[in-house]
């Protein structure tokens, strides 16, 4: 909700630095950064729906997966010889392409599906649930069940979804060779651009009266209702937008990682997504991005030294954040700057833009 | 300044034989009352008399088991809460229902909005007439100098006033004020009575309270409820001197 002023003023240098990253860090680090930035688009959506609207969802993995699978299906089809089927289908003894794969042949349609499928599904689902006035922990549990059933469904439909292994081994997208030397850098910049656009879009939304109403609904839904507002559409729109952002994040992630599988979209990844935002601070857009990067870089480091320890660390981090840093890293930064600002010092002059 | 409406004024609200049943407990039992446009009415009764439940029923939070609520001649029982507000009834809750994370001004702006559809909130600009309305109400409730303070940081009495302001800002014709002086000292109570007087005429006001000193400060016609039923109706004088009302209040009613 409240933007920390020093970061709001620093956004231009931060973005410039991010643009220059391919020359500043190693190829491996760049691939991680790109992947984590893709995930931070999901976190931006989660900040909107959880931080602003107060709707805790433990099912963002579903929408991340829908976006990821939508693009992955297209890429599987784009790399095929005419008349043949994706490799895993042949292994499962499938002889004809499932009907619902057909529309994904079109690159335009498949790209639209990255946001349309999660959006339509989230809109319909949340309308049904919010209309019944299901809130709080009950809503969170329903979304968790959704994540569980989505992952289970993917695994069980081996022939059509690639089962437990998911979809992998992509060659080309929009006619570009994904294995070209320049591909990772271009992909990184595309991701960065989408992060900036999504960030700016959600920032606008938060500052609008729509955003004000979301916060009011979070803090006093009854009061808002008895001021004459139907709160259901507001919550449905917030949840749907968050799902669409998760879909974009999932599609970009699939490009970066070269794979999408049930293990990336189930219950545990969905909880992890909430932890990113909790660590960064759910009241801040910067927090959502910073939290995603911090948690995932830490995960990468810890997993390489102590394989298997990550889930324990994750649990510990979550307990610590909930117990001691309820407003996350950004809340801490805000408190620290406020404390240093209390010392007598001249107010910084607002730089002309 | 006691406002007693003449019999010729049109009926704004009629509650007609309403019964509310909570699993066999009749919180409201075949209760009827009417309000005329522009009047000030005070609904009193001891704790548990069903006053707040009546409010809940009028605004659609609680459904009546039988009976009807009509507003401007149209039945409103069963409509969704927001639809009842849009028709012109708004309620202040017993515990102040301000939004703590928004400023006083934003709380009022939220209430003053006329077009409440979600896509109309995507712009950043606030229509000039709504902004003017907010400033006007800030003056009426006497919180103009507190406009940019977060509502959660206000004192309890100020929260009550800001919520009265919010209810007024919706432009509702009928205001239901549920215990507007709860938790207030004598000075604040007197100011609240003044504030409510300034609203009567432009709005029809139904005040719920059980504090007799505040009721006397308000004046107006008084309706007494007891155990979910209608007990008495009259001027403050008549009610104060009514032996049965006194008995109810002192807990000596024989039943």
CA dihedral of residues A157, A159, A163, A168 (deg, nearest 10): -140
pLDDT above 90 covers a percentage of chain B that reads 13
Query: Is it the case that residue A251 has pLDDT exceeding 90?
Result: yes
Confidence of residue B5 (pLDDT cuts 50, 70, 90): very low
Check CB contact under 8 Å for A210 and B121.
Answer: yes
Per-chain mean pLDDT for chain A: 86
pLDDT given for residue A350 in this prediction: 44
d(CA A147, CA A155): 13
- Residues 6 or more apart from A44 whose CB is under 8 A from it? A195, A198, A199, A202, A245, A285, A288, A289
pLDDT given for residue A3 in this prediction: 47
Residue A59 in domain: yes
Is residue B68 within 8 Å of residue B17, measured between CB atoms?
yes
- For residue A205, the chain B residues in CB contact (below 8 A) are 122
The number of distinct structural domains making up chain B is: 1
pLDDT given for residue A114 in this prediction: 94
Query: Minimum mean pLDDT among A42-56, A98-112, A186-200: which range?
Result: A98-112
Which candidate, A317, A303, A250, places its Cα nearest to that of A39?
A: A250
Give DSSP secondary structure letters for B162-217: HHHHHHHHTT-SEEEEESTTTT--HHHHHHHHHHHHHHBTTBEEEEE---HHHHHH
Query: Is it the case that residue B158 has pLDDT exceeding 80?
Result: yes
Residue B16 in domain: yes
Q: What is the pLDDT averaged over residues A212-229? A: 88
Q: Provide Rg for chain B, Cα atoms.
A: 18
pLDDT given for residue A33 in this prediction: 93
Check CB contact under 8 Å for A208 and B126.
Answer: no
Residue A278 in domain: no
pLDDT above 70 covers a percentage of chain B that reads 94
- Nearest residue of B to residue A210, measured between CA atoms: B121
CA distance B83 to chain A (A): 7
Reported as a single tens digit per residue, the pLDDT across A323-339 is: 888 888 888 888 888 77
Query: Is it the case that residue A41 has pLDDT exceeding 50?
Result: yes
Q: Which of residues 165-184 of B touch A (CB under 8 A)?
A: 166, 170
Per-chain mean pLDDT for chain B: 85
d(CA A228, CA A236): 17
Identify which of A114-123, A325-334, B61-70, B183-192 has the greatest average pLDDT: A114-123
Residue A120's domain comprises 25-266
Residue B19 in domain: yes
Asked if B79 reaches chain A (Cβ–Cβ under 8 Å), the answer is: no
Selected residue with higher pLDDT from A292 and B213 = A292
Residue A88 in domain: yes
Residue A155 in domain: yes
Residue B183's domain comprises 11-249
Residue B74 in domain: yes
Long-range contacts of A237-240 (CB under 8 A, 24+ apart): A237/A210, A237/B118, A238/A48, A238/A49, A238/A52, A238/A53, A238/A55, A238/A214, A239/A49, A239/A53, A239/A55, A239/A57, A239/A122, A239/A123, A239/A126, A239/A130, A240/A119, A240/A122, A240/A123, A240/A126
Query: Is it the case that residue B112 has pLDDT exceeding 90?
Result: no
Q: What is the pLDDT averaged over residues A123-144? A: 91
pLDDT given for residue B250 in this prediction: 66
Phi, psi for A119 (deg, rounded to 5): -65, -50
Asked if B17 reaches chain A (Cβ–Cβ under 8 Å), the answer is: no
- For residue B123, the chain A residues in CB contact (below 8 A) are 208-209
Reported as a single tens digit per residue, the pLDDT across B193-250 is: 888 988 888 899 999 987 778 888 888 889 989 888 888 888 888 888 888 888 887 6
Residue B3 in domain: no
Asked if B77 reaches chain A (Cβ–Cβ under 8 Å), the answer is: no
Residue A272 in domain: no
CA distance B109 to chain A (A): 9
Q: At how many degrees (to 10) do helices A60-78 and A27-46 cross?
A: 130
**How far is C-alpha B69 from the geometric centre of its chain's CA atoms?**
16
Confidence of residue A182 (pLDDT cuts 50, 70, 90): confident
Residue A63 in domain: yes
ipTM above 0.85, yes or no: no
Check CB contact under 8 Å for B110 and A224.
Answer: yes
pLDDT given for residue A13 in this prediction: 83
- For residue B166, the chain A residues in CB contact (below 8 A) are 223, 227
The number of distinct structural domains making up chain A is: 1
CATH code at position B138: 3.40.50.300
Structure tokens at A135: 């809130």
Identify which of A248-252, A302-306, B70-74 has the greatest average pLDDT: A248-252
d(CA A211, CA A214): 5
Residue A221 in domain: yes
Asked if B123 reaches chain A (Cβ–Cβ under 8 Å), the answer is: yes
CA distance A239 to chain B (A): 13
pLDDT given for residue A347 in this prediction: 46
pLDDT given for residue A72 in this prediction: 93
Residue B77 in domain: yes
């Amino acid at each position: 909700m409240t933007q920390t002023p020093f970061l709001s003023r620093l956004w231009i240098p931060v973005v410039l630095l991010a643009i220059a990253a391919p020359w500043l860090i190693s190829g491996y680090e760049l691939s991680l950064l790109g992947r984590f930035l893709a995930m931070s688009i999901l976190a931006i959506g989660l900040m909107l729906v959880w931080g602003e609207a107060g709707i805790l969802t433990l099912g963002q993995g579903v929408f991340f997966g829908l976006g990821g699978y939508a693009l992955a299906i297209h890429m599987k089809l784009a790399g095929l010889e005419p008349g043949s089927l994706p490799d895993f289908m042949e292994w499962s003894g499938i002889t004809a392409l499932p009907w619902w794969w057909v529309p994904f042949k079109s690159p335009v349609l498949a790209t639209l599906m990255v946001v349309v499928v999660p959006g339509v599904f989230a809109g319909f689902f949340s309308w049904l649930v919010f209309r019944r006035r299901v809130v709080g922990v009950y809503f969170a549990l329903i979304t968790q069940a959704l994540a569980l059933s989505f992952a289970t469904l993917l695994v069980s439909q081996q022939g059509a979804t690639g089962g437990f292994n998911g979809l992998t081994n992509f060659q080309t997208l929009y006619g570009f060779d994904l294995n070209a030397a320049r591909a990772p850098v271009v992909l990184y910049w595309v991701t960065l651009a989408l992060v900036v656009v999504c960030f700016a879009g959600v920032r606008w939304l938060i500052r609008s009266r729509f955003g004000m109403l979301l916060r009011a609904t979070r803090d006093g839904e009854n009061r808002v209702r008895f001021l004459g507002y139907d709160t259901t559409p507001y919550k449905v729109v917030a949840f749907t937008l968050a799902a669409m952002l998760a879909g974009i994040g999932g599609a970009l992630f699939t490009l970066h990682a070269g794979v999408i599988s049930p293990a990336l979209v189930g219950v545990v990844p969905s909880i992890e997504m909430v932890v990113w935002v909790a660590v960064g601070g759910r009241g801040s857009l910067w927090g959502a991005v910073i939290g995603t990067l911090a948690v995932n870089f830490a995960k990468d480091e810890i997993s390489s030294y102590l394989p298997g320890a990550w889930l324990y660390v994750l649990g510990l981090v979550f307990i610590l954040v909930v117990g001691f840093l309820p407003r996350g890293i950004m809340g801490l930064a805000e408190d620290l700057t406020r404390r240093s600002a209390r010392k007598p010092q001249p107010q910084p002059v607002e730089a002309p833009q | 300044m006691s406002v007693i409406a003449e019999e010729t004024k049109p009926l704004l609200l009629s509650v007609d034989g309403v019964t509310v049943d909570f699993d066999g407990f009749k919180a409201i039992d075949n209760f009827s009352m009417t309000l005329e446009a522009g009047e000030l009415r005070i609904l009193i009764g001891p704790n548990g008399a069903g006053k707040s439940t009546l409010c809940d029923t009028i605004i659609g939070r609680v459904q009546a088991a039988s009976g009807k609520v009509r507003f401007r001649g149209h039945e409103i029982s069963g409509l969704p809460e927001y639809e009842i507000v849009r028709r012109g009834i708004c309620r202040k809750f017993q515990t102040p229902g301000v939004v703590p994370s928004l400023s006083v001004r934003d709380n009022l702006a939220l209430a003053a909005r006329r077009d409440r559809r979600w896509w109309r909130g995507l712009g950043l600009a606030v229509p000039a007439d709504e902004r003017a309305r907010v400033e006007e109400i800030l003056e009426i409730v006497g919180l103009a100098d507190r406009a940019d303070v977060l509502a959660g940081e206000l004192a309890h009495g100020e929260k009550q006033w800001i919520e009265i302001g919010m209810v007024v800002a919706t432009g509702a014709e009928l205001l239901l004020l549920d215990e507007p002086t709860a938790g207030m000292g004598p000075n604040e109570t007197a100011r609240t009575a003044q504030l409510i007087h300034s609203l009567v005429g432009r709005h029809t006001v139904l005040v719920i309270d059980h504090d007799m000193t505040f009721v006397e400060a308000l004046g107006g016609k008084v309706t007494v409820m007891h155990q979910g039923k209608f007990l008495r109706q009259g001027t403050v004088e008549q009610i104060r001197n009514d032996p049965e009302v006194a008995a109810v209040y002192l807990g000596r009613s024989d039943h």
